[in-house]
A = this chain, B = another copy of it.
Amino acid sequence: MIKEIACKPPPEEEIARRIEGLKERLKEEGISFAIILQNVDIFYFTGTMQKGILVVPASGEPLFFVEKSVEKARKETPLEVIPKGRESYARDVLAKKGFIKGRCGMELDVLPFNMYVRWKELLQIEIKDISPIIKELRMIKSEFEIEEIRKSGRIVSRVFDMAKEIIKEGMTELDVALILESEGRRFSHQGFLRMRGFNQEMDNICVTQGVPSTFSSFTDAPIQGTGITPAFPHGPSFNRLKRHLPILIDYGGGYNGYTTDETRIYVIGRLEETFKKPCAVAIEIIEETMDFAKEGINGREIFLHALKKVKKEELENYFMGYGEGKVSFIGHGLGLEINELPVITRSHDITLKEGMVFAFEPKFVIPGKGALGVEVDFIVRKDKLERVTDTSFGIIYL
C-alpha cells in the first residue's frame, strides 16, 4: 500500500561544504563562533535533527553536543558527536578550548528571548544575529538538494493527478483534502511542513472554493481557506464543491525535509465568466516569466513585470489578495522551510543565481466571488528557469 522511497542523509562532502560556507561568512562578519540551536538549521549543517547544540567556530572544527538521540546522531552525521547536550556543559567545553571571545553568532530571528538571556549569562560576550547569513547560505541549493526537491515535487504531481480522479460535485473541501493528503503520505510525504518564524503554521494542503477562499488569515499567504475552527482558521473547510467555480488546490510536498509548493485550478463543468480573465492572466504571467527570467535577472523585475500586466488588465485590486489580505510577494524561496530566500517582491532587491529554488504564485482574490491562481516551483539556471515538476499548470476541467 505504501510506496517506500528511502530517505538518504546528505553526503559527507555536502555537510563539509555547508560548514565551510558558514565559517567563511563568520570570518567576513567578524564573528568568532556560531551557536546553532534551531532544529532545521542543525539538520542543515549536520545532516541529523537532534536535541543538541552545534558550535561552529570561524576557524577550527565544529563541536556538536547532543542530548538525544546520541545513537541516531552518530548514525546520521559525519561530524563528531559529543554525547552531552547541557548548555552549561557546552559552555565549559567552549571556555576550556578558548572559544569564548569576540562575538558569538546566534539565530536571533527565532531564538526566544528567555533562551537568549540564558546564553548571554553563560557566555558574557556580545551576541549577534546570524540568521541573515544562514538564510543566504541556505538560499543556494546544491545538486543533492535539488534532487531531493524534485522527489518532493513528484509527490505534488502524484497528488494533482489523483485530484482529477476523485473530485466530485458536493464533496466538501475537507473530503478532497483528506484523500489527497493521505495519498501524498503514501508516497513518502514527511507529513509536516516547516515555516520559519513566530506564529507561522502550515497546512500541508488547502482545498478551497468560492467565498470561503476569499477570507484572509493570520498566516502570510494570499489565499488560505477558512478551516473548520476559529482556533485554526485556515485550510480546507466543510464548504461543498460546486460546479463552474474555480477549486484551488494548494499543496506542499515534503520529502526528506525538502518542501515544494504548487497550486492548480480545477473546475467542474465550465468556468464562470468572472474568473476567465484572471485565470488566463495568472497562467500568462507564469509563461512570460519563464520566457525571460534566469540567472542575472532581478526578483524585483519579475514582480514588476507581473504587476504591469495585472494593471493593464485592470486586475490590480485583486492581485495577491484583496484589501487587508494582500501580501507583498509573488514568489518565495523553498528548501527545508517554505519561506526561504529569495522573496520575489517589489521591495526585495535580489539578483537570481543558479541554484535558487522558488515558488511563483500569481493569484487573485475577488471578494464575494472566489479566489484563483496558479503556483509553480522553479530552479534558477544560467539560461532559464527550470520547473521542479513537469505537471501542466493549465486549468484542469473535470
A residues with a Cβ closer than 8 A to B are: 1-2, 4, 7, 9, 37-39, 43, 47-52, 67-72, 76, 83, 106, 108-116, 129, 131, 171-172, 174-175, 178-179, 181-182, 185-186, 188, 190-192, 197-199, 201, 203, 215-219, 227-233, 235, 238, 254-258, 324-325, 336
Contacts and interface: CB of A to CB of B under 8 A. Distances in A.
Nearest to A38: B199
Contacts of A72: 215-217, 230, 233
A217 B229 CA distance: 31
A43 B227 CA distance: 15
A372 B133 CA distance: 44
14 contacts: A2-B175, A2-B238, A43-B231, A50-B217, A69-B217, A69-B233, A70-B324, A71-B215, A72-B230, A111-B198, A174-B186, A190-B228, A192-B232, A231-B258
Contact of A257 (B71, B113, B174, B232): B232
Contacts of A111: 112-113, 198
Given A50-B218, A69-B215, A324-B67, A191 B232 contact: yes
Closest 6 CB pairs of A and B: A231-B257, A51-B218, A7-B229, A108-B113, A113-B116, A68-B324
A185 B174 contact: yes
Contacts of A4: 238
Contacts of A68: 216-218, 324-325
A6 to B, nearest CB: 9
A238 B188 CA distance: 9
Contact of A198 (B115, B174, B216, B238): B115
B114 A2 contact: no
A287 B68 CA distance: 32
A232 B115 CA distance: 23
A7 B230 contact: yes
